[in-house]
Amino acid sequence: MDLPVIWFVAIAILWTGYFVLEGFDFGVGVLLPVVGRDNVDRRVVINSIGPVWDGNEVWLITAVGAMFAAFPAWYASMLSGLYLPMLLILLALIVRGVAFEYRGKVDSDRWRAAWDKAIVVGSLLPAVLWGVVFGNVVRGLQVDADQIVVGGLSDLVNPYSLLGGLTTLALFTLHGAVFLTLKTDGPVRRRARTAALRTAVATVPLLVLFVAWTQVAHGGGWTAPLAALAAGALVVGVLLAARGREGWSFTATATSIAAATALLFGALFPDVLPSTIDPAHSLTVWNAASAPYTLTVVSWVTLVALPVVIGYQAWSYWVFRRRVTREHIEPAPAYGGQGGAHASVRLPAARSEPPVPPIAG
């Protein structure tokens, strides 16, 4: 078996899972002030992803960890060459996580409003920057003969990567809006459906242009079906959302994200980090891979641990499959509050509030 190729495919699958699952988290965060008109609605929005958002981030940790174990040269060159956007992504994820935890700690509208803004910024920045990062990875960086990225920040700002950033922002926002129509009810659901249809006006042409550019400039014959699937699934998802077929619409937008991610990795292969200085300096799945013994050991560990992680996450999604509505939000004081019409959730949703057993029905 060609273990480097197998691990390249495995890492592509991990990144695909991350973008599909964390993508709707980012979209929900971006849409928080749009679909949440008051504190109760915003609590509904936050609680829709409350039980799963931190579990979704495990896919990122696993993907980066797999890169470190299987392709240390790729890990080192990519993270050093894209240091600033990766640092901004990390800081944004930290701020967003803190915002979820601290939003309900003080019984104050100003306090909650400040953390709501942090949720929006902490969702918007990664949604844009992941597109910029992978746009530059597929396009290539200035990798020299020593496998060191020598380019500066200005090299990361180019039309292709900027289009990638706009595309991921729009696509994740649409994915999040469709998720809210599937996971909530009442006014939040209606506003989310409107947001999905309005976002689609920009998302569809952006994705079509991005996948077409990727296919023409970097793809091959076997990646063309992936480009077509990414664009076609998105169009179908929008049509299904307009007809109120929320479950199938979410499946279609998830398929579009998965196909677009597969297209990026397919266009990248057999390189893992192309060099714009000289193709001979490019990192490939073979010259960037760990030793065969290391790949063998990591493979056995993964075969044991990965099914457990996937099984646990699937179970958590099943447990928290019910819709979240305003009726699940009851008036109660926040931490240290003295009463008043402030929302405290009855479902074990957002970790920013003390969990209570779920309501049946």
Residues 6+ positions from 58 with CB-CB distance below 8 Å:
309, 313
Q: Residue 106 has what pLDDT?
A: 86
Q: How many domains in the chain? A: 1
User: Per the structure block, which two tokens stand in for 43?
Assistant: 């609590």
Decide if 220 is inside a domain: yes
- Tens-place pLDDT, residues 68-105: 999 999 999 998 899 999 999 999 999 999 999 999 88
**Residue 283 belongs to some domain of the structure:** yes
H or E stretch at 330:
strand 329-331
Task: Let me know if residue 354 belongs to a domain.
Answer: no
DSSP string spanning 261-313? HHHHHHHHTTEEE-BSS-GGG-EETTTTS--HHHHHHHHHHHHHHHHHHHHHH
State the CATH number of the domain containing residue 199: 1.20.1630.10
Is a pLDDT exceeding 50 seen at residue 351?
Answer: no
* Pick from 220, 243, 247, 174: nearest CA to 23: 174
Say what percent of the chain tops pLDDT 70: 91
Asked whether residue 159 carries a pLDDT value surpassing 70, the answer given is yes
Cis preceding-peptide flag for 270 (omega within 30 of 0): yes
Q: Which conformational region is residue 360 in: left (phi greater than 0), alpha (psi within -120 to 50 degrees), or beta?
A: beta
φ/ψ of residue 247, rounded to 5: -65, -45
Q: Answer for the pair 29, 123: CB distance below 8 angstroms, yes or no.
A: yes
Which carries the bigger pLDDT value, residue 301 or residue 342? 301
Boundaries of domain holding 48:
3-345
Q: Is the pLDDT of residue 355 over 70?
A: no
Least trusted range by pLDDT, from 32-46, 55-69, 189-203, 337-351: 337-351
Report yes or no on 350 lying in a domain. Answer: no
Residue 353 within any structural domain of the chain = no
Position 358 confidence tier, pLDDT thresholds 50, 70, 90: very low
> pLDDT at residue 135 above 50?
yes
* 3 state DSSP class of 323: coil
Q: DSSP letter string over 180-216?
A: HHHHB-THHHHHHHHHHHHHHHHHHHHHHHHHHHHHH
Q: How does residue 154 score in pLDDT terms, banded at 50, 70 and 90? A: confident
Q: Looking at the domain assignment, is residue 357 inside a domain?
A: no
Mean of the pLDDT values across residues 162-191? 95
- Write b or e for each residue in 135-170: b if 16 or more Cβ atoms lie within 10 A of its Cβ, otherwise e: bbbbbbbbbeeebebebeeebbeeebbebbbbbbbb
Per-chain mean pLDDT for the chain:
88
Taking a C-beta distance cutoff of 8 angstroms, is the pair 158, 138 a contact? no
Residue 325 lies in a domain: yes
Residue 360 lies in a domain: no
Q: Is 103 helix (H, G, I), strand (E, B) or coil?
A: coil
Task: Give mean pLDDT, residues 138-165.
Answer: 90
Average pLDDT score over residue span 23-30 = 96
In sequence order, the 6+-apart residues with CB closer than 8 A to the CB of 212 are 227
